[in-house]
C-alpha cells in the first residue's frame, strides 16, 4: 500500500472481553480495528477555493481599498495649498461658479447615499436558547441498551454492535431520548409521536428565548425552522405560528432534509431576508426528531444513528435594527457554505431509505470520513482569506503558489516543496464550535486543524453531555462557553457544521460585549463538573 493511501487509515486495539468458550475460554481477547481517518486536507489544498475566498474578500472590501485612495488624493491636493489659497479657492471660485459647487455637492450626496443604501445591514444575534429536556427522559448507555434489548426488535449481533458503538462514541450517561423510545415496544415512528416530540423541544426552546429577550412573538417578522427527518403537514413553522399566534404577514420558511449543518443554512437564509426587510426580528429554530427516525432493523449502517443522535433544539433571535446594537451578544461576520452534492458518492453518503424489511432509517456510508474531509477542506480553504491575519495569508498563499508553479519540477526530496504552509486558525478565532458528530470526527478534526484540547473542549463536552443533537449542537457548544464565562468583547467564534448532501458550512460571529453567565442555560446545573474526564 502506498504511503499516501496508508495515511488515510488508523488502527486501534479493541478489548473484546473474556472469551466465554473454546480453547481460550477465560482469557482476555483483543482485536485490531482498521478504519479510515479524516484526510489530511490542509496538506492538499485546491488553489481554486483559495481564489474563491479572495474573490469574496474583494467583493465585500472594495470600499476599504477605494476610500483610502480618495482620501490620500484629496489630502495631497489640499496640503499643497496655503490657508490663503485654500480660502480663495473655496470662496472666490465658488462665488463665480455656483453651478459647479452645487453639482459637486449633489454628486457627493448621491455617492454617500448609494454607499449607505448598498452596504449590507449589520446582523445582530440578540440571544439564543437551547432546550434541556426533563430528567425523566435522561438515559445512561446501559439503560439505552436495556431499552433496545427489551424492545425485541434487535438480534444479539445488532445489540452487540450498538453497544460497541455506544461505548466508543464519546457520549456520556446523561443524554436524552424521547419517551416513546423509552416506554414503547411498538413502532414509534408515527406522526403523533413526531408532533409530540416537536412540540416539546421547539416550544421549550422558544419559551426560554422569548423570556430571555423580552421580545413578543408578534414582533417577529421572519421565522426559519430546520428539521431534516420530520416534515409534517402543516409544517413545523406553521405549528410555531399557531402555538404563539404570530402575526399574519410573517415570512416563514421550513427547511427539510438538509442534515446537521442546516442550522447555519437557516441563519444564512434569515440574514438574506433581513437584508431585504429593515427594522425586523428573525427567529431560527434548529432541531431533529430522534424518535421519529429510531431504526429498529438489523442493517448496521442504519443502526449507527441510534447510538449517536439525541434530543435537542436551539432557538436564535437575530435583528437588523441598529438600536439593538447595545444589547446584542454577537454580530454576524461571515458565512461560507460548501455543497458537494454534484458528486454521487457525496450525495449518497448519508441517505434515508428502507432496508430489506421495509424499515426506514438513515444509512451512513463507510466513506463518510473521506467525503466529509473533502468538504471540510473546501470550506476552510474558502474561509481562510476572509478571517486569517495578513501575515498568515501571505505565508500560506506564497507557499501554495510556489507549490503549484514549481512543485512538478521538484524531485520530492525537499519537505518544503511537498506541502503548503499550514495556516494557524487559532490566530483567526478565539472560540471553536465544531459540530459534535462523534468522538472519531472530533479527534481527526483536532489533529488536522492542530487545535488544542482547550479549543475542542466545548465540542467534546457537548457530545458527552447531550450527544449529537444534529443542527443544534453548535449552539449547545456556544452555551457551554457562555456558562464558563469565557467569551470576551471582540472575541471571534467559529461555528463549523457538516451534514447530508454532502455539505459543510461555517459561520463566524464577533462578541459585542463580555458575556456573563446567563440566567438560563442548559449547562447551569452541571457546569462545575466540566470539563469531565473522558474514558471512552
Whether 339 is catalytic: yes
Burial level of 39, CB count in 10 A (0-12/13-18/19+)? buried
Return contacts of 394-398, CB within 8 angstroms, 24+ apart: 395/421, 395/423, 396/50, 396/420, 396/421, 396/422, 396/423, 397/50
468 a catalytic residue = yes
Residues 6+ apart with CB under 8 A from 393: 384, 385, 423
Q: Which of 130, 227, 260, 433 is catalytic?
A: 260
Examine the residue annotation and report whether 243 is marked as an active-site residue of this protein: no
By residue count, the chain amounts to 536
Helix axes 47-60, 390-406, angle to 10 degrees: 140
**Cβ burial 81-109 (10 Å sphere, 16+ → b, else e):** eeeeeeeeeeeeeeeeeeeeeeeeeeeee
Selected catalytic residue, list 379, 435, 448, 455: 435
> What is the rounded CA–CA span in Å between residue 414 and residue 225?
52
- Catalytic entry in 226, 468, 505, 521: 468
DSSP assignment string, 490-536: T-EEEEEEEETTTEEEEEEEEESS--PPPSS-TTTTTGGG-SPP---
C-alpha angle 283-315-117 in degrees, rounded to nearest 5: 30
Residues 318, 123 contacting (CB under 8 angstroms) = yes
Pairing of strands 222-226, 251-255: parallel
Catalytic one of 464, 504, 505, 521: 464
Task: Determine the Cα–Cα distance for residues 266 and 196; give it in Å rounded to an integer.
Answer: 23
Say whether 60 is catalytic. Answer: no
Q: Where are the beta strands (DSSP E) in 393-519?
A: 431-434, 492-499, 503-511
Dist CA 392 CA 398 (whole Å): 10
Q: How far apart are CA 164 and CA 162, in angstroms?
A: 5
CA distance 342 to 256: 19
Please tell me which residue in 46, 231, 277, 339 is annotated as part of the active site.
339
Residue 340 in grid coordinates:
458537494
Tell me if residue 34 falls in helix, strand or coil: strand
Torsion from C-alpha of 383, 387, 390, 392, nearest 10 degrees: -60
Q: What is the SS3 assignment for 325? A: coil
Q: Which of 227, 280, 320, 431 is catalytic?
A: 431
Which residue numbers are catalytic? 260, 339, 431, 435, 464, 468
Amino acid at each position: 500500500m502506498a504511503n499516501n493511501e496508508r495515511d488515510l487509515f488508523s488502527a486501534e486495539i479493541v478489548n473484546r472481553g473474556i472469551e466465554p468458550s473454546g480453547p481460550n475460554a477465560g482469557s482476555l481477547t483483543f482485536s485490531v480495528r482498521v478504519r479510515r481517518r479524516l484526510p489530511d486536507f490542509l496538506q492538499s489544498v485546491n488553489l481554486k477555493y483559495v481564489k474563491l475566498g479572495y474573490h469574496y474578500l474583494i467583493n465585500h472590501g472594495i470600499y476599504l481599498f477605494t476610500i483610502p485612495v480618495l482620501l490620500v488624493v484629496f489630502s495631497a491636493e489640499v496640503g499643497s495649498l496655503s490657508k490663503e489659497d485654500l480660502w480663495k479657492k473655496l470662496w472666490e471660485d465658488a462665488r463665480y461658479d455656483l453651478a459647479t459647487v452645487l453639482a459637486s455637492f449633489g454628486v457627493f450626496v448621491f455617492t454617500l447615499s448609494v454607499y449607505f443604501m448598498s452596504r449590507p445591514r449589520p446582523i445582530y444575534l440578540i440571544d439564543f436558547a437551547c432546550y434541556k429536556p426533563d430528567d425523566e427522559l435522561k438515559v445512561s448507555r446501559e439503560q439505552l441498551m436495556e431499552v433496545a434489548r427489551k424492545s425485541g426488535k434487535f438480534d444479539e449481533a445488532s445489540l452487540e454492535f450498538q453497544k460497541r458503538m455506544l461505548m466508543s462514541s464519546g457520549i456520556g450517561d446523561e443524554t436524552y431520548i424521547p419517551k416513546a423510545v423509552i416506554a414503547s415496544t411498538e413502532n414509534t415512528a408515527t406522526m403523533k409521536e413526531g408532533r409530540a416530540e416537536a412540540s416539546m423541544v421547539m416550544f421549550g426552546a422558544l419559551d426560554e428565548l422569548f423570556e430571555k429577550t423580552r421580545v413578543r412573538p408578534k414582533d417577529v417578522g421572519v421565522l426559519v425552522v430546520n428539521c431534516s427527518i420530520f416534515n409534517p403537514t402543516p409544517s413545523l413553522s406553521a405549528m410555531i405560528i399557531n402555538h404563539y399566534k404570530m402575526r399574519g404577514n410573517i415570512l416563514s420558511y421550513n427547511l427539510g432534509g438538509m442534515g446537521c449543518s442546516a442550522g447555519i443554512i437557516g441563519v444564512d437564509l434569515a440574514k438574506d431576508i433581513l437584508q431585504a426587510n429593515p427594522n425586523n426580528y428573525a427567529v431560527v429554530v434548529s432541531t431533529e426528531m430522534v424518535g421519529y427516525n429510531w431504526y429498529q432493523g438489523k442493517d448496521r449502517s442504519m443502526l449507527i444513528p441510534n447510538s449517536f443522535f439525541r434530543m435537542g433544539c436551539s432557538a436564535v433571535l437575530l435583528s437588523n435594527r441598529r438600536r439593538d446594537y447595545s444589547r446584542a451578544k454577537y454580530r454576524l461576520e461571515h458565512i461560507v457554505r460548501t455543497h458537494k452534492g454534484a458528486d454521487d458518492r457525496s450525495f449518497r453518503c448519508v441517505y434515508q431509505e428502507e432496508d430489506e424489511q421495509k424499515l426506514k432509517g438513515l444509512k451512513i456510508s463507510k466513506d463518510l470520513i473521506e467525503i466529509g474531509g473533502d468538504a471540510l477542506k473546501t470550506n476552510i480553504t474558502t474561509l481562510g482569506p476572509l478571517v486569517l491575519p495578513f501575515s498568515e495569508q501571505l505565508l500560506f498563499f506564497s507557499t501554495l503558489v510556489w507549490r503549484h508553479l514549481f512543485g512538478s519540477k521538484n524531485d520530492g526530496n525537499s519537505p518544503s516543496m511537498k506541502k503548503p504552509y499550514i495556516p494557524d486558525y487559532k490566530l483567526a478565532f478565539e472560540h471553536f464550535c465544531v459540530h459534535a458528530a462523534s468522538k472519531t470526527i472530533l479527534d481527526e478534526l483536532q489533529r488536522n486543524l492542530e487545535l488544542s484540547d482547550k479549543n475542542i473542549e466545548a465540542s467534546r463536552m457537548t457530545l458527552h453531555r447531550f450527544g449529537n443533537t444534529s443542527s443544534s449542537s453548535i449552539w449547545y457548544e456556544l452555551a457551554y462557553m457562555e456558562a464558563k464565562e469565557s467569551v470576551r468583547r471582540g472575541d471571534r467564534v467559529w461555528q463549523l457544521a457538516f451534514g447530508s448532501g454532502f455539505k459543510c458550512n461555517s459561520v463566524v460571529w464577533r462578541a459585542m460585549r463580555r458575556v456573563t453567565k446567563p440566567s438560563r442555560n442548559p449547562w447551569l446545573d452541571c457546569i462545575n463538573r466540566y470539563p469531565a474526564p473522558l474514558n471512552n
